[in-house]
């Protein structure tokens, strides 16, 4: 039984659309990431260039303003410092602002002087001077040129904004050297990048939806004819060969549809031809069998008269009379089996189920066939439940199956014991017939139920079989919804296992007896 598949696995359109959208998602994500990275780097580069240009102007103006107050009084210098701070920063804003930080550089060798000089250290808008990157300060202490670095900016309120630090050393008259930093906040640039990111995300979603829609439209043009072909093919399997695919174009799908329709027409014609041949063959076999019954009856009557007077004939003629009776019996049996085969082929064979005891039937068949054994040392043994096993089946057909199996075992046992085992379950009964003769090759197992096939045509038969017994037995078993299995091995004999439902027509749930006797558990054998 095939495992249950999900609806997704059963839909070609769903798998194609999912694969396409998944691939498109990867492409959109990679493209969007690359584009976002380039835009981010571009915005930073433009902002850096603009900020550095602005910082150079501010630092130049600050140095010029401080040179103007060289030698002036401290109040005048203070006014000038305040003016530089005011012109260098935009107070009261945190987004798009330009902040300033002044940090006095103290000399280790002149401690007394450092304490007397005025200190103009300043940080605008409540900035924390500790936010200045140490790498930038270290670089500024070694290089008097303009230096910059991207780093977070922290206010006393705890708010943190990405920023660009640009620093340079300046000298304030009467106070000494200072580290002057211009801090350009990148909040506006962050807003711009967020807008770009959201735009890319929205564009990607819309693009994926469009790709899914386009894929669905394209796949629909291909899947629809495929589904129609699958529907028509399913009707073909049910025997309806009148269905055809509708062809409305001249493309590749139309070519496939035309080829499919031509194939259906050809198959229908071949099936009709085979059905006619089968019917002719069935009628021929049936007619021949019926037509042969009249002369066979005449031969039977004449042979019986000759056979009754055989004691008065010459021994050679008497033996010929015996052979004639035997061959007429065999011929009559062949006609009966041919008629039965024709019924199976015409599918007119019907069951006539009745209730009976299965084990009693098996024992009666064994007893009837054992009486006529030419080899007195032959032994048939039966293993069966002690309690009666009642089934509802066609008594005549089940008896015929058992007689065929036991007769076949007797023909091939070479005088060795024959073992019959019967078991029952809640839903089925099973019986095995095992001989210990020469056995069969693996290739013979595939043909053992073929009509008129014999493993060894030259081998002597005690009852002269027709070659149809096992084939009819298999058809009888399947007519009950049962099965007949065969096993054989060279030098180990053969084994046939019949499995029948307890009520004819019901399905069997398994094989109570394995066909390979080596896989069975050892049981005590009752000898009849």
pLDDT of residue 110: 54
Cβ atoms of 393 and 504 within 8 Å: the answer is yes
CA geometry: angle at 247 spanning 245 and 253, to 5°? Answer: 95
Nearest residue to 406 (alpha-carbon basis) of 354, 366, 373: 366
Q: Check if 14-106+115-193 and 252-344 are the same fold.
A: no
Contact 479, 351 (CB under 8 A): yes
DSSP 8-state assignment for residue 518: G
Half-sphere exposure of 481 (CA within 13 A, CB side): 15
| Assigned architecture for domain 351-527 | 2-Layer Sandwich (3.30)
Q: Reply yes or no on domain 14-106+115-193 having CATH 3.30.450.
A: yes
58 C-beta neighbours (distance < 10 Å), count: 20
CA–centroid distance for 406 within its chain: 46
What are the backbone dihedrals phi and psi of residue 424, each rounded to the nearest 5 degrees, phi first?
A: -135, 150
Q: In what side-by-side order are the strands of the sheet with 122-123?
A: 122-123, 98-104, 176-185, 160-172, 147-154
Please give the pLDDT value at position 356: 93
**What is the pLDDT at residue 365?**
87
Separation CA 242–CA 245 (nearest Å) = 10
* β-bridge pairing 353-357 and 122-123: unpaired
How far, in Å, CA of 486 to CA of 495, rounded? 6
Tell me which CATH code domain 252-344 carries: 1.10.287.130
The predicted structure's pLDDT at residue 392: 93
Summary count for the chain: helices (H), strands (E): 12, 13
Give the span between the Cα atoms of 264 and 240, in whole angstroms.
10
- Burial of 72 per CB tally in 10 Å (0-12, 13-18, 19+): middle
| Whether 99 contacts 126, CB under 8 Å | no
Q: What was the pLDDT predicted at 309?
A: 81
* Full pLDDT tens readout for the chain, 528 residues: 444 555 555 666 777 778 888 888 888 888 888 888 888 778 778 778 888 888 888 888 888 888 888 888 888 888 888 888 888 876 444 445 688 888 888 766 555 455 567 888 888 877 777 788 888 888 887 777 888 888 888 877 778 888 888 888 888 888 888 888 888 887 777 777 778 888 888 888 888 888 888 888 887 777 777 777 777 777 777 777 777 777 777 766 777 778 878 887 887 788 888 777 767 766 776 677 667 777 777 877 888 888 788 787 788 888 888 888 878 777 777 777 777 777 776 666 778 899 999 999 998 888 877 644 444 555 788 888 889 999 999 999 999 899 889 888 888 888 788 889 999 999 999 999 998 888 888 877 878 888 777 665 555 444 555 677 788 888 889 889 999 999 988 888 899 999 999 998 888 888 889 888 887 654 343 334
Q: Name which of 197, 219, 199 is nearest 21 in CA terms.
A: 219
Give kind and range of the element (H or E) at residue 218.
helix 187-237
pLDDT at site 374: 43
**Domains of the chain: which residue ranges?**
14-106+115-193, 252-344, 351-527
Give the H or E element holding residue 250. Answer: none
Rounded distance between C-alpha atoms, residue 264 and residue 141, angstroms: 92
CA gyration radius, the chain: 52
**The Cα angle at residue 278 between residues 276 and 283, in degrees rounded to 5:** 95
Q: What are phi and psi of 248, to 5 degrees?
A: -125, 10
Give the pLDDT score at 375.
Answer: 47
- The half-sphere exposure of 503 on its side-chain side, counting CA atoms within 13 A, is 3
- Cα 117 from chain centre: 86
Long-range contacts of 370-378 (CB under 8 A, 24+ apart): 370/528, 373/410, 373/462, 374/462, 375/415, 377/415, 378/410, 378/413, 378/415, 378/417, 378/418
Taking the CA atoms of 216, 222, 223 and 225 in sequence, report the sign of the dihedral they define: positive
> Please, which contacts does 48-53 make with residues 24 or more away whose CB atoms are closer than 8 Å?
48/148, 48/164, 51/148, 51/164, 51/166, 51/182, 51/184, 52/146, 52/148, 52/166
Query: Which tokens hold the place of 363?
Result: 């024992």
* Gap between the Cα atoms of 432 and 415, Å rounded: 18
């Amino acid at each position: 039984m095939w495992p249950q598949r999900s609806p997704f696995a059963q839909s070609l359109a769903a798998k194609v659309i999912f694969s396409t959208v998944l691939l498109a998602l990867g492409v959109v994500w990679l493209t969007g990431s690359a584009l976002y990275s380039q835009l981010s780097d571009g915005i930073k580069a433009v902002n850096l260039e603009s900020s550095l240009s602005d910082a150079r102007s501010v630092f130049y103006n600050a140095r010029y303003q401080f040179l103007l107050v060289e030698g002036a009084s401290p109040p005048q210098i203070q006014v000038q410092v305040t003016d530089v701070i005011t012109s260098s920063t935009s107070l009261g804003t945190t987004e798009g602002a330009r902040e300033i930080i002044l940090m006095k550089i103290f000399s280790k060798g002149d401690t007394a002087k450092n304490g007397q000089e005025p200190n103009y250290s300043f940080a605008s808008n409540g900035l924390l001077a500790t936010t200045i990157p140490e790498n930038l300060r270290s670089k500024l202490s070694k290089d008097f040129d303009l230096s910059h670095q991207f780093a977070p900016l922290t206010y006393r309120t705890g708010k943190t904004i990405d920023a660009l630090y640009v620093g340079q050393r300046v000298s304030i008259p009467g106070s000494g050297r200072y580290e002057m930093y211009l801090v350009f906040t990148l909040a506006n640039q962050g807003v711009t990048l967020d807008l770009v990111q959201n735009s890319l995300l929205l564009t990607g979603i819309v693009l994926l939806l469009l790709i899914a829609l386009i894929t669905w439209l394209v796949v629909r043009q291909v899947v629809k004819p495929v589904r129609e072909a699958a529907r028509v093919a399913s009707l073909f399997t049910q025997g309806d060969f009148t269905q055809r695919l509708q062809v409305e174009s001249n493309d590749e799908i139309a070519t496939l549809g035309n080829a499919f329709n031509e194939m259906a027409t050809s198959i229908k014609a071949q099936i009709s031809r085979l059905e006619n041949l089968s019917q002719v063959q069935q009628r021929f076999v049936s007619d021949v069998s019926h037509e042969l019954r009249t002369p066979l009856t005449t031969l039977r009557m004449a042979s019986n008269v000759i056979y009754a007077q055989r004691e008065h004939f010459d021994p050679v003629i008497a033996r010929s009379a015996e052979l004639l009776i035997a061959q007429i019996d065999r011929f009559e049996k062949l006609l009966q089996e041919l008629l039965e085969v024709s019924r199976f082929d015409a599918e007119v064979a019907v069951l006539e189920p009745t209730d009976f005891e299965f084990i009693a039937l098996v024992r009666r068949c064994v007893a009837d066939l054992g009486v006529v054994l030419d080899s007195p040392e032959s032994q048939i043994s039966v293993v069966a439940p002690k309690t009666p096993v009642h089934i509802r089946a066609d008594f005549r057909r089940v008896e015929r199956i058992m007689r065929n199996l036991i007769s076949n075992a007797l023909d091939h046992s070479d005088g060795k014991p024959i073992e019959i085992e019967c078991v029952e379950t809640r839903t089925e009964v099973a019986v095995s017939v095992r001989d210990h003769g020469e056995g069969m090759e693996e290739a013979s197992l595939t043909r053992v139920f073929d009509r008129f096939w014999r493993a060894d045509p030259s081998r002597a038969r005690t009852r002269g079989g027709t070659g149809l017994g096992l084939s009819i037995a298999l058809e009888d078993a399947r007519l009950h919804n049962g099965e007949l299995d065969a096993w054989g091995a060279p030098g180990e004999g053969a084994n046939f296992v019949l499995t029948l439902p307890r009520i004819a027509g019901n399905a069997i749930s398994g094989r109570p007896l394995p066909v390979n006797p080596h896989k069975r558990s050892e049981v005590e054998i009752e000898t009849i």
